Structure 1
Amino acid sequence: MEPDHLIREYLLLGLRFDRIEVGYVDSFTGDNGLRRMVAGEPAPQPAELAAQARRLLAALPSVPRGAAFTEQRAGFVGAHLRALDCAARKFAGEDVGFVEEVRDYFDVEIGRGEPERYRAAHARLDEVLGGNGPLAERMEAHRRAEEIPPARLGECIHAFSSALRDIVRSAYPLPSAETVVYEVVTDKPWSGFNYYEGGY
């Protein structure tokens, strides 16, 4: 399989997930013809999407590497294919364990830590926070003291964004018309979301 074919199949696979859960693909800046193609297909079955992800993953080692498809890019695509396989299996109703899910979604192995490391971390926090009373209560009080009042959140976000843009502009040429619009919302299942509005 050639790199272009693999990438095209990978993109189609990802877009098919949006047919199972609207909004799964939150931003697609590629060929709109691919999105139209997927919209015209029969509704996908999650188990078949999982099988497609595994087929592409199995083909990945034999895809020729080069300037446009480096080993790093292959690793990136492979990690996404493992995540899509896991997501499809979950949509199909398969019981996926937490450790496996974290590994497949985030490409990281997790396990229990050594209790002594936690005790040492708690002792260090106890020392840094100072004061009396249970550590959990002091930690919570410390976090509350750093919270931005909801009425000032928009103002703070804009100030931070402006300062960050100045730093980035000093190192990289941003388009002169480039802007970011922030909207503070509540009652959403996420803590932050973005929409790419195009043009760059």
Structure 2
Amino acid sequence: MRITLIILCLLATLMGCQSKTIHTVEDTPMTLDNLAEQYVKLTLAVGEHHPYYIDAYYGPNEWRTGEKRPLTELKADITALLEQLNRIQSSPELAQRKAFLQVQTKSMLTFIQLINKEHISFDDESLRLYDAVSPNITEVELDKALVQLDTMLPGSGSVSERMNQFIEQFVIPTDKLDSVFKAAVAESRKRTKQYIELEDQESFTIEYVQDKVWSGYNWYKGDSFSLIQVNTDFPIYIARAVDLASHEGYPGHHVFNSLMEKHLVNGKGWIEYSVYPLFSPMSLLAEGSANYGVDVVFPHAERIQFEKDVLFPLAGLDASKVEIYYQVQEVKQQLSYADNMVAKRYLDGEINDQEAVELLVKYTLVTEKKAQQRLGFIKANRAYVINYNLGQDIVKDYIEKQAKAGTHAEIWALFSELLANPKTASMMQ
């Protein structure tokens, strides 16, 4: 009897041990839903090592543990997850979901290398984090725009100096900034809602902040709510009202995140879209679509008219100068890849801080103080700069190649479809 009891106790102990088996990534059943859950948890864990890696999260609260796991351990689990994603068979309708998870998961391994301060060239970092490589722009190409601006801008001095003198007359007075910005947001929201159905409760709050390396930021909180922050460290020019309202709000980041939550997280139960890692392929679409969306919501002629009728008067600026202001802005846009050129050379160790600032002053046509802020952005966010200009061009080409009639309604339909069903850069090629 005593022996029988001992055996029974041993069996009970063994069964108890079996019931406490720890499940690793490899042990998790291989379904896309389970792998997506692992992806979210690992993304959040990587975010514990960087204050801005997690741009937005509205999944289960208990998944955000606050535990700072060793990077070597995270790397092993991410590698295992990627191997499972590569092995799993998916139906044709889920192929894009799988591909998105694969590309996003790969980017985490690269970001861990950056956290560990491992050297990665600018182009490799761009490709591995954002799924795209910026064209190799040189001064010779950028100088063409400078020559054109040289003939347009009055006064004497360098093109950069004259540009800054010229745009001084288009600064929004501090006491009028809130009313101008809110008018721009209201108009972009009204126009967007004509083509995109948003949740009834969608809303946002605007804050004016200082001491940031960016000019505007959307913090998406979930449930179709955003906090939009506008940096007032430097003068805000009238063109930035529509740009920021559309880029951060409608149909930019606020709408993009709202549609992902509505269609993918709530509609399909694809939990991977409840987390947005900033330094990942998702950002190229986020920033590129937000920039392209400015022209979608405000076609050039309509933007000119709206600014002339509404924003310039609200800001107390001379509305008769709208046309010349935007003619100069259009030429200046040809210099948009200057940021990428400077960032590439700086991060690859070809130029120092002072040389980077000088190039930014010359080719982005800003003051030295503003150039120093921009260099601060490059230091903090590295290859992220490609997402604005290259992202915009990739999104524009993708949508306009699909457009058959080229009508405004068709462009809106293709644009909103892309926001609701995101693609990375390679998927849009």
Post-superposition Cα deviations, 1:112-159, rounded to whole Å, max 9, x if no partner, equal: 324532232322333444654322212333444443333332222211
Structure 1 residue 106 and structure 2 residue 130: aligned? Answer: yes
In structure 2, the residue corresponding to 1:196 is in which secondary structure? strand
- Which of 1 and 2 has greater Rg? 2
Structure 2 partner of 1:44: 69
Structure 1 or 2: more helix by fraction: 2
Give the one of 137, 142, 146 matched to 1:122: 146
Greater RCO, 1 or 2 (C-alpha within 8 Å, sep 6+): 2
Structure 1 residue 133 and structure 2 residue 157: aligned? Answer: yes
In structure 2, the residue corresponding to 1:173 is in which secondary structure? coil
Structure 2 partner of 1:30: 59
Q: 1:169: Cα distance to partner?
A: 2.0
In structure 1, the residue corresponding to 2:208 is in which secondary structure? coil
Give the one of 44, 47, 56 matched to 2:81: 56
Structure 2 partner of 1:10: 39
TM-score normalised according to structure 2 size: 0.40
Give the one of 172, 181, 193 matched to 1:148: 172
- CA–CA distance in structure 1, aligned partners of residues 214 and 138 of structure 2: 31
Give the 4+ runs in structure 1 shifted more than 4 A: none
Quick one: percent identity of the two aligned structures? 26
Q: 1:11: Cα distance to partner?
A: 0.5
| Structure 1 unmatched runs, 5+ | none
**Gap change, CA 1:183 and 1:62, over 3 Å in 2:** same
Aligned length: 195
Give the one of 70, 76, 84 matched to 2:100: 76
Contact map agreement 1:82 1:104 (CA 8 A) in 2: yes
Post-superposition Cα deviations, 1:4-60, rounded to whole Å, max 9, x if no partner, equal: 12211211111102322345323211223322xx44x5x312233334334433443
Give the one of 209, 213, 226 matched to 1:185: 209
Structure 1 partner of 2:185: 161
What's the Cα RMSD here? Answer: 2.8
- CA–CA distance in structure 2, aligned partners of residues 59 and 127 of structure 1: 59
Contact map agreement 1:50 1:89 (CA 8 A) in 2: no
What residue identity is the alignment partner of 2:160? A
Contact map agreement 2:57 2:222 (CA 8 A) in 1: no
Structure 2 partner of 1:172: 196
What residue identity is the alignment partner of 1:26? D
What residue identity is the alignment partner of 2:33? D
- CA–CA distance in structure 2, aligned partners of residues 104 and 151 of structure 1: 44
Contact map agreement 1:53 1:84 (CA 8 A) in 2: yes
Q: 1:84: Cα distance to partner?
A: 1.8
Q: 1:91: Cα distance to partner?
A: 1.7
**Gap change, CA 1:82 and 1:134, over 3 Å in 2:** same
What residue identity is the alignment partner of 2:163? M
TM-score normalised according to structure 1 size: 0.78
In structure 2, the residue corresponding to 1:65 is in which secondary structure? coil
Structure 1 residue 65 and structure 2 residue 90: aligned? Answer: yes
Post-superposition Cα deviations, 1:64-111, rounded to whole Å, max 9, x if no partner, equal: 33366333x334333322332222112223233333323333222135
Post-superposition Cα deviations, 1:149-188, rounded to whole Å, max 9, x if no partner, equal: 3333222221111111111222233344432110111123
Which of 184-193 and 162-171 deviates more? 184-193
Which of 44-53 and 10-19 deviates more? 44-53
- CA–CA distance in structure 1, aligned partners of residues 219 and 36 of structure 2: 23
